[in-house]
Amino acid sequence: MNRLLYVARKAKGLTEAQIAKVLQIEENEYKELEHSIVDVTAKQALQLAKLYEIDAEQFIYTEGGKERLLKYAMDEISRYQQNGMLENLPPIYYFNIVSLGNTALTLQAELNHSTYRQYELEQDNQALRLLYAELKEKYEGKA
């Protein structure tokens, strides 16, 4: 369970439906976020940060991520086996499929982190531009 999402929502006295509306997702999708079935995206983390006044990065990294990835990969392989999609494949291919999936999910997490970092840098740049404009105005007025 994503305890931060749960506690923050309860502390604000909001319902799952209300948070889902803020995030522009369905209520059942929000429940998946809160139960750590899926990860919070960078965009969602930024929206939640504004709502709860908590650093967005706190929402991106949730506990149990590796275990969820492994379970997800095993469930997918089982589903493919049941549907006959993996018939006659050597066992090493199963490992390769899981490895590729894990790499893709890891890259998605890195992309989320990079998106958040880009947002932080844009905020820093905006603050520097404002400071520069103020200083320029101040010193041009003295000249």
Q: What is the pLDDT of residue 61?
A: 62
Distance CA 106, CA 112 (A): 10
Q: What is the mean pLDDT of each run of 10 residues along the chain (143 residues)?
A: 86 93 94 85 89 83 63 77 82 79 76 78 89 90 70
Residues 49, 112, 44: CA angle, nearest 5 degrees: 35
Q: What is the pLDDT of residue 129?
A: 93
User: Does residue 142 sit in the same domain as residue 75?
Assistant: yes
Q: What is the pLDDT of residue 110?
A: 78
Last residue of a domain, one of 63, 90, 108: 63
Output the pTM of the full model.
Answer: 0.52
State the CATH number of the domain containing residue 57. Answer: 1.10.260.40
User: Does residue 43 sit in the same domain as residue 98?
Assistant: no
Q: What is the pLDDT of residue 26?
A: 95
Number of domains forming the structure of the chain: 2
Nearest to 58 by CA among 131, 2, 128: 2
Identify the domain containing residue 72 by its residue range: 65-143
User: Does residue 84 sit in the same domain as residue 38?
Assistant: no
Q: What is the pLDDT of residue 68?
A: 65
